[in-house]
Amino acid sequence: MKLIVGLGNPDGKYARTFHNVGFRAIEKFADEIDARFTKRMCDGVVAEGYFAGNKLLLLKPLTYMNLSGIAVRQIMQKFKISINDLYVFVDDIDLPLGKIRYRESGSAGTHNGLKSIVNELGDTNFKRIKIGIGRDEKFADLADFVLSRIPDDKLEIIDGEIEEACELLKKELIKK
């Protein structure tokens, strides 16, 4: 079984913020494989599905971004999922808007959700699909920017990135 995680904040007021791009990506991926988020477990909401012969468990942590690792660790322990079978959709301020990047491992950088996962798992060797949101210099504080609403003119670009990120994940799952 493979675990696919989308990082974000569960409160509706965050739905269209830059920091919820991971939630948007996993919801899009779930739609594409006909999986539905119907079960609450381990501090998250989960969906189950299949793709390319792989049984998939999809997770949206309900712990809020900065504690995402708690839900990830709980699910991995409950289902005995290996770190090698963990994939995370995440926003990235260090990538320009319109770009995505796949990493097999690496540091958490400035991302608190990734930091939480690394802290809870004690390991940086999990796969990340980073969705570029860039930076906006009018925000002095990064938290203010990532929690701001995505403007209409950038939403189409982000939706395109999410589509590309889902296709990238599918290609990776086919390889495994």
Strand locations in 30-161 (E): 39-41, 44-51, 54-61, 86-92, 100-103, 127-132
Residue 111 designated active-site = no
CA 127 – CA 6 distance, rounded (Å): 12
Cβ–Cβ < 8 Å for 21, 133: yes
Residue type present at position 41 = M
Q: What would the two tokens of residue 149 be? A: 């609403």
What is the three-class DSSP state of 6? strand
Active site residue: 2, 19, 24, 128, which one? 19
Cβ–Cβ < 8 Å for 106, 117: no
Cβ–Cβ < 8 Å for 27, 83: no
DSSP 122-144: T---SEEEEEE----TT-SSHHH
**Which residue numbers are catalytic?**
19
